[in-house]
Amino acid sequence: MQSIKKNFFEFFGLPISFDVDVESLSEKYHELQKEFHPDASSLETEIEKMRSVQFTSFVNEAYNTLKSPIKRAEYFLTTQGFDTENVSQSELDMDLLLEQMQLREKLAELPKDDSAMPALENLKQDVKQKLLIQQSSFADDARSENYKSAKKTFHELQFLYKLLSEIEENEERRLEY
């Protein structure tokens, strides 16, 4: 696995860009899997099998990264030399933080039984809407090579994804699953 030096974009024969056509990515992924998956090589030696496991692990990782907009955004910034794990307060918009807090308060104030389900659904749609807007603004920033702004948008996306998963956790708890 260590021997694969290419980055994920190059690996799939794509330009290093946030704009990825997920449908054609998935097509390439399937082609690679059909060729290299351990099932396709049931007759080879143990060493070849092991290599195939390592290689398809890499293929899976690369595909899962590029398929998901948030992971792809992060990976894209890393290829541009940005450290996505650290963020300072000054990089973020005050308005955005306030809005996040308000959304979180809304979530906390909802009733604890399943009467909150419609409200949770509304909140979820609201957050998803915001995610789409931020995603397209990240794409714009990335295209115009405005990486500083892209990094800020990425951290905003992170907040929204976190919030989305909290809303979903809330849903599950109310479904008594």
Residues in contact with another protein by the rule CB under 8 A: 1, 26-27, 30, 33-34, 37-40, 42-43, 53-54, 56-58, 60-61, 63-64, 168-169, 171-173, 175-177
Shortest CB 169 distance to another protein, Å = 6
How far apart are the C-alpha atoms of 41 and 1, rounded to whole Å? Answer: 18
Shortest CB 57 distance to another protein, Å = 4
Query: Between 128 and 143, whose beta carbon lies closer to another protein?
Result: 128
How far apart are the C-alpha atoms of 147 and 152, rounded to whole Å? Answer: 9
CB neighbour class for 21 (10 Å; exposed up to 12, middle 13-18, buried from 19): exposed
Query: Between 1 and 16, whose beta carbon lies closer to another protein?
Result: 1
How far apart are the C-alpha atoms of 154 and 87, rounded to whole Å? Answer: 10
Shortest CB 33 distance to another protein, Å = 6
